Structure 1
Amino acid sequence: MEGDLRDWVVGMQKNGLPVNRAAVLTKANDMYRVKYGVTRSTGFLTIRWVSCFLKRHPDLSLRDSQVIKRARNEVTMESLREFFIEYMKHVIERNASSDRVFNMNETEFSQKSRQTKVIAVKGSRNVWSKSAQCNFHLTIVACVSAAGFVCPPLYIMPGERVTHDVLDEFNVPGAVITTAPRGFMNSAGFIRWLHHFSDAVPVTVKRPLILVYDGCSSHYNADIVREAVRLEILLVLLPANATHLLQPLDVALFKPFKANIDAVVREYNLNGGEGSIARKTAIRLVSTAWTKGIVDKPANVIAGYRACGLWPVSLPQQQRRLKPFQDGGCVTDVELPSWLKVREIAQTEILVLPASSAKTRKRRKTLDVNRRLFTREDLQNIDV
């Protein structure tokens, strides 16, 4: 019976729903009750049994699971092939080199509020750290080429105006700033970014440029396509929900960039920073993190393209990126027994007729308040 339980654990992982110790213990107790019946003498298995179970099955171990949205876990091999064919077609027809292939993505200026190990007086029971917070949304638009070239970033701040002290904090050559109602990218801002991107790429780089990115609504519409054609930029959209697989910025660059943001904010706090991070301070900190986390690491850029199969162009590498998400990260092809099947809903639970009920007058779902105050009893008694 333990072998069956082990197979169930593996099956749940391959379906993207790995189970914890409590779930294993619940199933074990259910099986235990089926075998020995429900009596006072049988008792229950405890969490200690799970530890012994793992020792008896050394191919299982406790791991930290990464949470991923269900949509991101539903990318298919077919969608990868379609993207590969379109992307490869552009590369071959234009005889493109690595300096003409670019990836664009957005991220935000934010620091993680998490516990960290610190040195404190022995016996201290409540050790806490002050942390300066950014009370506005700052978007950073990044773009890198397969040859390691880093396009200067675009900063998007909320509001309509930018003060001079913010501009004075620019320390990334070529960086630009704009505003949006809430600090998020919109289609007008993306067109402005296309102009910035075209100007930032050296004129010695042959056109057209190939831009690989996600196709969210603010990044793709008729006006954007027309402007891209005029600027000699080919737009290649990634498969839906596949940025974690095929986007070099996501795969190789944003993590060290965010780590450097945490580091510069921590240093800012240690040096007596204010409780709230001002806009000019945010620009200074994010510019420092940008230089350390992205500009100074061109090898990471090239490695990110290689890992995503975008340069050198490789369909097998793209498929290898997808495979761990298809079987829950199993290191080998574990064959599941034939008896382990996906749960089916019986006909008696789906194909049934509703119970007949007497026809009653339907009540309106809303009431005209007309500057009145209602209690719950008033609402129940009103004949609508």
Structure 2
Amino acid sequence: MVRGNFGIRHARVTSKRNRHWSAREKLMIIMYYESGHSKRSTADKFNIQPKQLREWINNKEKLLNAAPYTQRLNTGARPKYPYLEAELIEWVKEARSQLKTVTRYMVQAKARLLAKKESYQANYPDIKNAKFSQKWVDGFMSRHKLVNRRKTTVAQRLPEDYVEQQGNFLSYILYRRNEHNYPLSLIGNMDETPMAFNLPSNNTIEQSGTKTVLILSTGHERSNFTVVLACMADGTKLPPVIIFKLKNIPREVFPDGVIIRTNPEGWMNENEMTWWIENVWTRRASRNNNPRSLLVLDSFSAHKTDVVKQRFREKKTDLAVIPGGLTSRLQPLDVSLNRSFKAKVRNLYNNWMSEAIKDYTPSGKIKRPSYSLVASWVKEGWDAIDTSMIRRSFKCCGISNATDGTEDTLIFDFNQLESKINRENLGREVEKDGENNDKENESESEGNDRNELEDDESELKDNYYEENEEQTVIQDWS
């Protein structure tokens, strides 16, 4: 008698869907492993195979140099139009050898222009239908090892191992966000920027052929103070703090919305940091209940004392410290906001110098602007910063981008950020003046805005704060 097993239920086999990890996520897992965890515990935590982790560790150098959103390290198919790309890459190199700006959109436009050549249309019959999309530009840049970079000055020299440090920082940000799922309203950035009572522009309209160009000033270029700015990834701005070099707060009427502090040096220190945490950082939440938050800071020494760290722990705040020399790429306030803020304050100063009735010293020199007047400029300049610019700056630094990788293309896209900032500045000026400018006037205005920002880079350098930054930073992965 043959017995059948018809009543037996067999296990149902389902196909497992593979998880595609981006280069940024792989680096995050590698950094977690290198912070003191075993391969097995790391693999279990992120639900991957130990073999995957070993492969990623072996390819760490390639991952560091890959675009954050890259899921596969292989370059993929060969270029469809190799001769066109060869001419295009030579055009890029020639332009950069002459210090000319080359943007993604310029590459796209140049490719479309080259595609109209008869020689290419003869070799590639389907090139007439080629769109040369931004995705194609991504592939072109990857094949030829091109990246988006912003203009550097002597003070912005990047460290030799900046790629590795940059990757470590972004991995730590992603790890913390996956751990705690902070809302954008609880991801912040704080920075100190030194300013002077004398803020003249280095550019002025002058008669053609003039050999010597002089600009009137108050002579108080060395009378400095510190402005502390902070903002959140959703565009929220915390009240600015001004630290004057005084023993006591002057008996002047200061505007609401700006906080005045004084100390003998006029700089940020441990005492000022603890005060800022208690009186400004606690305003990030409406109910003042100190929810779990993430704060991005540079590696200035006063940010990292044991007292300051303990106070942040009490406020349920995780710190992400930017390695020294990388604030021009990883700090939202440094990427665009500080420069735009200073340019607005300088415009107010220039208007005061040209129009206001000023007081003079017995020796005939112009008295510096009052503390309350400077405070009003700071408030007005900070209020004028657009919230959408703040949100884009966070994404450009890789801090608030969607964790699923859909916004990773925005990381380090400084060209697009700068162009949007310039367009917004032009739009606000036109709206304020209530007049329509033609293209020539718009171009001139945009150039003036750019000159103001260049003035800011060339005048007062953050020497005190930069000299007290640490180049190597160890994040707390616990």
TM-score, normalisation: structure 1 = 0.59
Q: Which residue of 2 aligns with 1:81?
A: 167
Does residue 1:146 correspond to 2:233, yes or no? yes
Structure 1 pair 67–145 and aligned structure 2 pair: CA distance change class (3 A) = same
Q: Which residue of 1 aligns with 2:346?
A: 262
Structure 1 pair 73–290 and aligned structure 2 pair: CA distance change class (3 A) = farther
Q: CA deviation at 1:137?
A: 1.5
- What SS is found at the alignment partner of 1:164? coil
Contact 1:137/1:184 (8 A) holds in 2: no
Q: Which residue of 1 aligns with 2:393?
A: 304
Q: CA deviation at 1:236?
A: 1.3
- What SS is found at the alignment partner of 1:114? coil
- What SS is found at the alignment partner of 2:234? coil
Q: Which residue of 1 aligns with 2:190?
A: 104
Q: Which residue of 2 aligns with 1:28?
A: none
AA paired with 1:310?
I
Unpaired stretches in structure 1, ≥5 consecutive residues = 1-6, 19-64, 324-384
CA RMSD of aligned residues (A): 3.6
Q: CA deviation at 1:248?
A: 0.8
1:125-144 matches, cutoff 5 A = 128-134=214-220, 135-144=222-231
Does residue 1:232 correspond to 2:321, yes or no? no
Q: Which residue of 2 aligns with 1:116?
A: 204
The structure that has the greater radius of gyration is 1
Q: Which is worse superposed, 306-315 or 146-155?
A: 306-315
AA paired with 1:94?
H
Task: Tell me, in whole angstroms, the C-alpha distance in 2 between the residues paired with 1:235 and 1:213.
Answer: 7
Of the candidates 210, 214, 222, which is equivalent to residue 306 of structure 2? 222
1:202-351 matches, cutoff 5 A = 202-204=285-287, 207-270=291-354, 271-274=356-359, 275-276=365-366, 278=368, 281-312=370-401, 316-317=408-409, 320=412
Does residue 1:158 correspond to 2:242, yes or no? no
Contact 1:75/1:242 (8 A) holds in 2: no
Q: Deviations over 1:264-296 (max 9, x none)?
A: 1111111233445546x2442343344245555
Q: CA deviation at 1:112?
A: 4.6
Q: Which is worse superposed, 252-261 or 310-319?
A: 310-319
- What SS is found at the alignment partner of 1:151? coil
Q: Which residue of 1 aligns with 2:41?
A: none
Q: Which has the higher contact order (CA 8 A, sep 6+)?
A: 1
1:32-111 matches, cutoff 5 A = 66-69=152-155, 71-110=157-196, 111=199
TM-score, normalisation: structure 2 = 0.49
Structure 1 pair 94–184 and aligned structure 2 pair: CA distance change class (3 A) = same
Q: Deviations over 1:173-213 (max 9, x none)?
A: 2x222222211111111111111223322334861221101
Contact 2:185/2:284 (8 A) holds in 1: no
Q: CA deviation at 1:113?
A: 4.8
Contact 2:241/2:259 (8 A) holds in 1: yes
Matched residues, percent identical? 19
AA paired with 1:273?
K
Unpaired stretches in structure 2, ≥5 consecutive residues = 1-89, 100-150, 360-364, 416-478
Q: Which residue of 2 aligns with 1:23?
A: none
Structure 1 pair 318–297 and aligned structure 2 pair: CA distance change class (3 A) = closer
Structure 1 pair 190–276 and aligned structure 2 pair: CA distance change class (3 A) = farther
AA paired with 1:258?
K
AA paired with 2:400?
W
